[in-house]
Amino acid sequence: HKAHPGPDDFRAYAKRREREAVDGLAALGVPRRRLVFLGFPDRGLCPILCEHPADHPPYYRSPFTAEDRPLPREALLPGTEYDSADLERELGRVIASFRPTLIVAPEIADQHPDHCATYFFVRDALDRCGAACAPRPVVLDYLVHFDTWPGTAGASLRPPSGLPVRADWV
C-alpha cells in the first residue's frame, strides 16, 4: 500500500507470499522442509519464457527488484539466471530428486501470464528430465484465471464458457 514501492518492498511482499504458501501447505500436511522456492520473479515468467529462452545474456531483469537472477540462497544450481533454460533445469532437478507421482500445475489456458508460462515450464522440464523422472508423474492442471470464471460458474464450477477442452473436467 505504498505509492512508490521500491525493491525492498517487493522482496518483502515475496517473503509474505512465501509464508502464506508455507502456511497453506502446512494446513494440507506438507512440512516446510519439503518445500522448494526457486526465487524466480513475480510477473516475470511469461517474459522469461517468450523473450529469454537461452542461457546467455541478456537475462530477464525484474522491473521490481532490478535483479537478473535469484539470490544465491534461493538458487538450487550455481549460476542460475532469469532465463528459460535455467528455470527448466532447476525444475528438472526438483522433479528428478523428489520423483513425484503427481504434479499439479496451472492450466495452459489460465489467463494469468505467470500461470500460463508455468504450464510450459513444467511440461518442458518433464520432457527434458526423461529417464531421471521415470515413471513420468501424472500431471493435473488447475484453472484460476479465465475471463470472469469462477464468479459466473455458480456452485457447480462447470468449465468456463470458451475454455478449450483438452481433458476431463473435475
How do residues 39-73 score in pLDDT, each as one tens digit? 999 999 999 999 999 999 999 999 999 999 998 88
Q: What is the end-to-end Cα distance of the chain in Å, rounded?
A: 37
Helix (H, G, I), strand (E, B) or coil at 55: coil
Indicate whether 156 pLDDT > 80. Answer: no
pLDDT attached to residue 153: 63
Question: What global pTM score does this model have?
Answer: 0.88
pLDDT band at 152 (very low <50, low <70, confident <90, very high): low
Name which residue leads in pLDDT, 2 or 22: 22
DSSP state at residue 138? E
Backbone angles phi, psi at 141, to 5 degrees: -100, 140
Cβ contacts of 90 within 8 Å, gap of 6 or more: 38, 75, 76, 77, 80
Mean pLDDT rounded to a whole number for the chain: 91
